């Protein structure tokens, strides 16, 4: 007789500032048993973040740590860290969390904090990525999941998905098409992490014990589906 053990779900805290559509994709994948995680809490820096309602609808604990209540970035990040750590997460997921983070904060979560960025990094770090992609005339745009390091949007890339830039695109149309891809790649990268397949340690990014290329895995590649 053989016995199989189901891996324990890892504990995840998700940080949001806005709509939370990526959070929703992660919640949905979890409810569909596609993701071996338990979302311990959703934390927002904004009271009016729509994603808080999404979390409450899924019976997930929510917290608000409003950056406006703190005198500076260091004090805010210290409070945010206390709030996150009260849930003892294995992984912190930034899902549209619109704050620049301090070095201390980022280093505290080194190798266990992911972000999603709406561009094919290293192109277009920072804000207004869709406008900038259109202005620059690129034919391909997309989204990237990466580990967070002290360089803003500069951490090692895990997974990317491309979209074609079309003649009639404006920033909103392009953003919507990119967001659809975000909802596919973020749960997948989190799944790899939760299964212990994805690690970032000692400056080395590994998937299944192999180093990843500089732009990570592309969602269109076979590897993304294995």
Among 77, 153, 169, 182, binds ligand GRF (CB under 6 A): 182
> Does 224 contact ligand GRF by CB under 6 A?
no
Q: Cβ closer to ligand GRF: 169 or 182?
A: 182
For residue 114, list its beta bridge partners. Answer: 93, 147
| DSSP state letter for 158 | E
Residue with tokens 């659809």: 180
Q: Are 156 and 167 in contact (CB under 8 A)?
A: no
Does 144 bind ligand GRF (CB under 6 A)? Our answer is: no
Write out the binding residues for ligand GRF, residues 124-143 only, by CB under 6 A: 143
**Per CB under 6 A, which region of 60-68, 75-83, 112-120, 206-214 contacts ligand GRF?**
112-120
The residue sitting closest to ligand GRF, measured at its beta carbon, is 96
Q: Terminal CA-to-CA distance of the chain, rounded, Å?
A: 28
Q: Under a CB-based contact definition with an 8 Å cutoff, are residues 145 and 157 in contact?
A: yes
153 binds ligand GRF (CB under 6 A): no
Quote the DSSP letter at residue 71: S
Other CB atoms within 10 Å distance of the CB of residue 131? 14
Candidate residues 21, 40, 44, 149; the one interacting with ligand GRF per rule CB under 6 A: 21
Smaller CB separation from ligand GRF, 3 or 215: 215
Would you call 41 helix, strand, or coil by DSSP? strand
**Of the ranges 11-19, 77-85, 152-160, 199-207, which one interacts with ligand GRF (CB under 6 A)?**
11-19
Could you give the CA distance from residue 162 to residue 182 in angstroms, rounded to a whole number? 10
Q: Which of 27, 30, 81, 96 binds ligand GRF (CB under 6 A)?
A: 96
Q: Is 203 helix (H, G, I), strand (E, B) or coil?
A: coil
Is 155 near ligand GRF (CB under 6 A)?
no
Active site residue 47: no
Q: If you ran DSSP here, which 8-state letter would residue 7 be given? A: P
Catalytic (active-site) positions: 117
Question: Residues interacting with ligand GRF, by CB under 6 A?
Answer: 16, 18-22, 51, 95-96, 116-118, 143, 179, 182
């Amino acid at each position: 007789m053989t016995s199989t053990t189901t891996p324990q779900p890892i504990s995840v805290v998700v940080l949001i500032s806005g709509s939370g559509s990526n959070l929703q994709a992660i919640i949905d994948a979890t409810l569909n048993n596609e993701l071996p995680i338990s979302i311990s809490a959703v934390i927002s820096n904004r009271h009016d973040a729509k994603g808080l309602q999404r979390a409450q609808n899924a019976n997930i604990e929510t917290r608000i740590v409003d950056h406006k209540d703190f005198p500076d970035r260091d004090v805010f990040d210290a409070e945010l860290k206390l709030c996150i750590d009260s849930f003892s997460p294995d992984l912190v997921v930034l899902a549209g969390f619109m704050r620049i983070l301090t070095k201390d904060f980022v280093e505290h979560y080194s190798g266990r904090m992911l972000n999603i960025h709406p561009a094919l990094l290293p192109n277009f770090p920072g804000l207004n990525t869709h406008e900038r992609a259109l202005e620059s005339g690129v034919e391909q745009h997309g989204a990237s999941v990466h580990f967070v390091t002290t360089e803003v949007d500069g951490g090692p890339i895990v997974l990317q998905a491309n979209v074609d830039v079309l003649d009639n695109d404006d920033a909103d149309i392009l953003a919507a098409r990119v967001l659809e891809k975000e909802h596919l790649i973020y749960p997948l990268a989190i799944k790899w992490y939760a299964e212990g397949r994805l690690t970032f340690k000692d400056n080395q990014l590994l998937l299944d014990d192999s180093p990843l290329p500089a732009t990570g895995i592309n969602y269109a590649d076979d590897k993304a589906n294995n």
